[in-house]
Chains A and B, each alone.
Chain A
Amino acid sequence: MSKHYIIGVFGDEEPLLEAVKEVRASGTRIHEVYTPFPVHGLDELLGYKRSRLPKAAFLFGCLGFTLAITMQTWMLGIDWPMNIGGKPALAWPDFVPVSFELTVLITALGMVGTYLVACDFIPGNEAKMPDLRVTSDKFCMAIERDGTNAAAVTSLLNKLGAEEVHEKELEL
């Protein structure tokens, strides 16, 4: 759903970081900041919580491990027990490589999937960005127009060193 946004375009990371601090201090909610490369300290200034992806990873790991143990126990112990070198059908050292690999595989696939869904990066989706220049050399700050004093925000952004400030209606 598209909305009206005030877009502040910055030429460098330092005025951007300063502006993020000031805009938040003025009580205005920042929708999102777009940068051509990861900017150190930006997440903290934006007040982002840490990603919960590691927790998802742990759960996917547990799932993979359980799946592997269940699969091997069923195959080698119940469905088709075999005598391999005189060892018991359910010999735990045999399970280690498969359990390890499946744990890693399910964790990796699960994390990639979770990440794509959480970030709305589903293949085929159109990329959401306020300005194509954020993929090369510009930094953009997007603020929802509704509920803010647009004129005040625009002048604040200008004062904080934005190279240009404009309004756009788009989906972010």
Chain B
Amino acid sequence: MSIPLFKATVKSNWILTLIFIVLLCMYMGSILSLYNPDSAEAMEETLKLLPPELARAMGIGSIPADLAGFIGNYFYGMLVFMIPLIYVSIMGHRLIAKLVDNGSMAYLLSTPNTRTKIAITQGVYFLFSICVLFIFLTGAAIVISQSLYPDLLDILSFVLLNVCALFLTCAISSICWFFSCLFNDTKNSLAFGVGVPVLFFMLNILGGMKDEYSWITSLSLYKLFNASEILSGSTNRVGICAVFAGISLCLFGGGIYVFRKKNLPL
């Protein structure tokens, strides 16, 4: 890893990361403000007004009793997929393919640093920024809920939920990363880097709409992440994280390998 390059990468990308941190925290804040510990039943009533297909597609399944469950349902049903998805597809593209497409990669490679070293530096920023995203999100959620509803949040399960979401986002980011390394032009890098994760996302929504379609969900990477199961501990959290980590490792490594071997039009 090249420290000077890492600093430069931080400098030219931190604003984008910050925007998404703010966005995620704002959504989290507004969801939290909706929670009313005394009238969970009233909430339930309101939800019944929604068509059941819509509610399911949005990932709102069973009605949660406690605060963690509430956040799990409303934030970790869909928003936690959607906003980081936008972030990782933009960032993945910016870190490699964009530099190749506009030619500035030539300058990075005209220094005595190997391609592997440069790619690893960019990849480290990618994963590092995703971690920062989730640390701020988790921190903000805990601070806000503690100040609004003292001691109502099951902090441990909530943190574990976020760890799983972090691993999920890393796995999605590795898809964007791989295509960013594979393609030399903006067009393909974005088409596949955004397209494949969005496809997973759509499959997840589609499969959630009706029971007959639920098999579709199993084609989606997002299926592995079920907030209420993770919160209740009825699923193997370590196993899920291991799968996500495995995917990330393969695709990040694969991307770097491809980038090292390919011809660059610089």
Do they bind each other? no
List residues of chain A with CB under 8 Å of any chain B CB: none
